[in-house]
Structure 1
Amino acid sequence: MNFFKNDNEKWFWLIALIAIMLIGYSELAIIGYALTAVLFAYAFINPKHGILLLFVYIPVREFVTQYNPGLSYLTEAIVFGALFQVFWMNRKTIGKLFHFKNFEYAYFAFLIIGSISALIMGISPILIAMQLRQFLLFYLVYYIVYRLGITRKDLVNLVWIFIWTAILVIIQAITEKLSIRNMFLPESWEAMALSAKNRVRIYGMLGNPNVLGIYLMFAFIAFYYAKNKLKEFNPRYMDILNVLLVGILVLTYSRGTWGGFLIAAIAFLIMTRKMSVLIDFVKYTAIALVLVVLPLNLLTNYFESTDIGSEKVTNIQQFDVGGESGFRDRIGSTFSEDTVTGSQSSGRLFIVKTGFEVFKDYPIIGTGFATFGDSTTLSNGSPIYDEYEIGHKFYSDNQYIQIIVQTGVLGVIAFAAFLLTMFWRYAKKHKESYLYSLTASILLGAYFMGLVYNLWESDIFGLAFFALLAAASRREDFGFRDDGDTL
């Protein structure tokens, strides 16, 4: 049966995904390093394919590197391979490499402030570089894609990549749910102790239900676009994939991603006045609840009621013993007295309160990168933690309080300029293109998600958003050529 209408390189991306998975499962680090070197060279030779390969790799990165640490630097290798080719292509017109937009200058200012502040605090340049990687690596995707341009063929290839990776992610997610986290997972993830309310969530190949939710959100957008704009894809099968995506998204119980997705969807509807989007989303959600969420929950509850299933639950739920789990418990506890009290003493409210205490002592340029609640301090600690009685295994789960503490008033101004300038730039042009409406809408959703996640440190969000931003900026400056650009 021919499910799709056009083969357009689709098998190349499937083979690439299978190869990455097999090399990951091999657990031979030397093979992982060899693939890293090969793909660095490949990205230099064919930078567009290199960037597209990131969309193959990033969704499975956390999963495969649990088996094969030799793949840990594949992202950097591909990005810098493509970047060096951009430099080489423009070697006779160097000035083109240094044309930046106002939001880019604001972002650079933010990065400089955080770095200088960290140096003043005595933070190691290596740790500063580690944190800069989180903020800068996927900005480079924007830098590369903007200068390479985007064609219709690129978009078709990107959708195929989302199809193959999403199918794999969905299969793994369903297996994880039904097996009670006992199949198709690295051993270290199977052994991870979870609370009752987190045990019922699907963590997926991205290793985090919130990050999984963000990936599913972008995959949904890709499939919806393909259904309506790309004749190479059968709309019926795009609908099926989106129903499955919505079902898994519900089972992540990721309230922050739900909220961000809803805000983005409402903003897009207001800007475009396309009520068909609302109708389709309601349809997908209703069907997903009946055909995906309900059956998976019923089957999982049945398996958990068996002796073997009960033992698995006990092994996972090693603390919070006897705690209630399920949709009602997960969502209903959001604003409960126990949740608020716990948050004030050790959760998100505690983080915000403590953050403002630090800010009062370092108000101008903050304490610097790698000092408060970021991915670098999670593994390396911080010199300020003992002074403010902060636990060393600490993640802020709030991008804004992290920026307030680390970069002070000047950094907040720079980062706000970055966010707001991007939004204003494309929101005011929303009538010219759905692409501008989509970019502005996702930014609004990101503003909300930044309250509950360190969103701009997320690889999957950074990759997808900065690629989208490059497409919007490219259209704004150059329009589309006759070779099929249709955004």
Structure 2
Amino acid sequence: MENIKSYRFLLIGFLILTLSLTLTPKLALISITAIFAVYTIVNPKNALLLLLLYVPIRPLYAEANPGLKYIGDIITILLFLITVYQLRHDIRSIFRFKIFEWAFFLFCLVGAVSAYMTGVSIVAIVFQLRTFLIMYLLYYIISRMKIDKQDITKFAWVTVFVAMLISLHGIIEKLSLRTWLLPQAWVERIISETNFARIYGMPGNPNTLGMYLGVAIVLSLYLLHQAEGQTKRFLYVALTLFNGTMLLTLSRGTLISVFIGWIVFLALTRYWKPVKPYVVTLILGILLVYFPTNGGVALVQYINDQDYGKGGFINRIQHTVDDETQILTAETGRIYFIEKGFEVFKDYPMMGSGFATFGDSATLSFSSPIYEKYNIYSDGYGEGSENKYYFQNFYTDNQYIQVIAETGAAGVILFALFLLGMLVLFWKRRKEDLFSNVMIAFWMATCASGLLYNIWETKIYTLYFFMILGAYAAKHKLVLQD
């Protein structure tokens, strides 16, 4: 393991964030944000690494103290301004973009313009644009930096340290039946029996936590490849913890995406060396983390004479195919949202209904001007049913139907160019290095996730995707090429 002293900034950052929970939101907003802003100016590279700490734990910390909400945005915007300033003598580099970037910008423009035409407020439009663009800025920043192997190694180690913290917190959450080390609002949150069995963790969402741990596993395997002695043993422990905790999230979509990523990577490279440690630690994770934690939960419930429901992958799979779930899916779940999405598309075929209108991040905060028109507030089980299910705050849980509904044919074409434009960059270089093949597998896993989640609005995931993409661009000097 590298000199642990070089990661003191990470521990100090965590302590500052934790101690700030005792401050008033206003004082935290002013003082803590100022501290991180100054550090960003003094040490931009370490500030980037601090984002790997802040963004995954932000949901919990911001819930506990709203004054901590904007630290990530401030760091990112300052880093962007620093980058532009450093490139002031090379104007072409400032405005040099790849095809996938131009497609992404135009996609955002289509969504914003159509939203304005639909009657969405400017505030809601800006909110959604921020959701899409804030993490892209990290790609812009890193792609124009000098990145070496040591930087990538630090990136991976910070992820391992933070993922261990988050995994241990998640296990405590589960063993305490969601009563320890959580904001009161989360403790009091009403969760279905099926979801109560899942770990939500600091990210506040089991699917997001599962995807995050999937990335942590890949980066741990990267470090394991170059590790020896005690460091190697430490990474085996970390991988065991990550695999076991990821299973405790009961995230089917994550497992599907991870499986697809592995299949694509192995098909392209025939590089089997990472498979053995992955399989070994997966088995150890099941035996030493997954089963003991579930056993501990059963014991706690028995001692307290409580029953909050049982959970496991077998129950989860059964729940997927039983009659009740099929009804929920067709009338209030993913199928319902897909049907509603195409209904919106039929009325807005060219440019869609616009951002902040159909199940995206902005609608969670601002609702939508079209929900009443499409009866999305209505009874999800049919007229006259006693079971009411309302959708004032729903996520499409499918990135593509959201793109179809909100941006129409124009947005679909631009979003496809955005995705395929990246793939072309990786595919052209697939025979040059292993990194290109990793990116193809990462891209495929991401696209698969889009069928089940609003993956491009998940900040923790896009944090990693765009940072790793930026490192790839820097390594291959993509910004310097015409």
Which among 191, 198, 203 is matched to residue 200 of structure 2?
203
Which among 347, 365, 376 is matched to residue 333 of structure 2?
347
1:383 is matched with which residue?
369
1:445 is matched with which residue?
445
Q: Letter of the 2:403 partner, please give it.
A: I
Q: Verify: 1:436 aligned to 2:436, yes or no.
A: yes
How many angstroms apart in 1 are the aligned matches of 2:144 and 2:291? 46
Can you give the 5+ residue segments of structure 2 that lack an aligned partner in the other structure?
A: 377-390
1:160 is matched with which residue?
157
How many angstroms apart in 1 are the aligned matches of 2:400 and 2:42? 39
Q: Answer whether contact 2:33 2:70 (CA < 8 A) is retained.
A: yes
How many angstroms apart in 2 are the aligned matches of 1:75 and 1:324? 37
How many angstroms apart in 2 are the aligned matches of 1:235 and 1:66? 36
Superposed CA deviations along residues 224-278 of structure 1, whole A, max 9, x for unmatched, are 1111136798111111101100000000001111111111111111112111222
1:402 is matched with which residue?
402
Q: Letter of the 2:402 partner, please give it.
A: Q
Superposed CA deviations along residues 285-323 of structure 1, whole A, max 9, x for unmatched, are 1111111111111111111112x250xx55xxxxxxxx7
2:424 is matched with which residue?
424
How many angstroms apart in 1 are the aligned matches of 2:421 and 2:321? 33
1:239 is matched with which residue?
236
How many angstroms apart in 2 are the aligned matches of 1:232 and 1:378? 48
1:25 CA drift (Å): 4.5
Q: Give the 3 Å change call, closer, same or farther, for CA 254–27 of structure 1 in structure 2.
A: farther
Q: Letter of the 1:105 partner, please give it.
A: W
Q: Letter of the 2:350 partner, please give it.
A: I
Q: Give the 3 Å change call, closer, same or farther, for CA 232–77 of structure 1 in structure 2.
A: farther
Which among 331, 335, 352 is matched to residue 317 of structure 2?
331
Which among 180, 187, 190 is matched to residue 190 of structure 1?
187
Q: Give the 3 Å change call, closer, same or farther, for CA 106–45 of structure 1 in structure 2.
A: same
Q: Verify: 1:69 aligned to 2:55, yes or no.
A: no
Q: Letter of the 1:90 partner, please give it.
A: L
Q: Give the 3 Å change call, closer, same or farther, for CA 153–58 of structure 1 in structure 2.
A: same
1:44-193 matches, within 5 Å, as 44-193=41-190
Q: Answer whether contact 1:5 1:233 (CA < 8 A) is retained.
A: no
Can you give the 5+ residue segments of structure 1 that lack an aligned partner in the other structure?
A: 315-322, 480-487
Moved more, 146-155 or 459-468: 146-155
How many angstroms apart in 1 are the aligned matches of 2:229 and 2:367? 50
How many angstroms apart in 1 are the aligned matches of 2:311 and 2:446? 28
Superposed CA deviations along residues 431-476 of structure 1, whole A, max 9, x for unmatched, are 2111111111111011111111100001111110001111111222
2:294 is matched with which residue?
297
Give the structure-2-normalised TM-score: 0.93
Per the alignment, in what secondary structure is the counterpart of residue 264 of structure 2? helix
Q: Letter of the 1:385 partner, please give it.
A: Y
Give the structure-1-normalised TM-score: 0.92
1:483 is matched with which residue?
none
Q: Answer whether contact 2:25 2:68 (CA < 8 A) is retained.
A: no
Moved more, 26-35 or 112-121: 26-35
How many angstroms apart in 1 are the aligned matches of 2:176 and 2:216? 25
1:406 CA drift (Å): 0.4
**% of aligned pairs identical?**
37
1:364 CA drift (Å): 0.3
Instruction: Please report the RMSD computed on the Cα atoms of aligned residues, expressed in angstroms.
Output: 1.9
How many angstroms apart in 2 are the aligned matches of 1:395 and 1:14? 35
Q: Letter of the 1:364 partner, please give it.
A: M
Moved more, 40-49 or 75-84: 40-49
1:475 is matched with which residue?
475
How many matched pairs?
Answer: 466
Q: Answer whether contact 2:341 2:402 (CA < 8 A) is retained.
A: yes
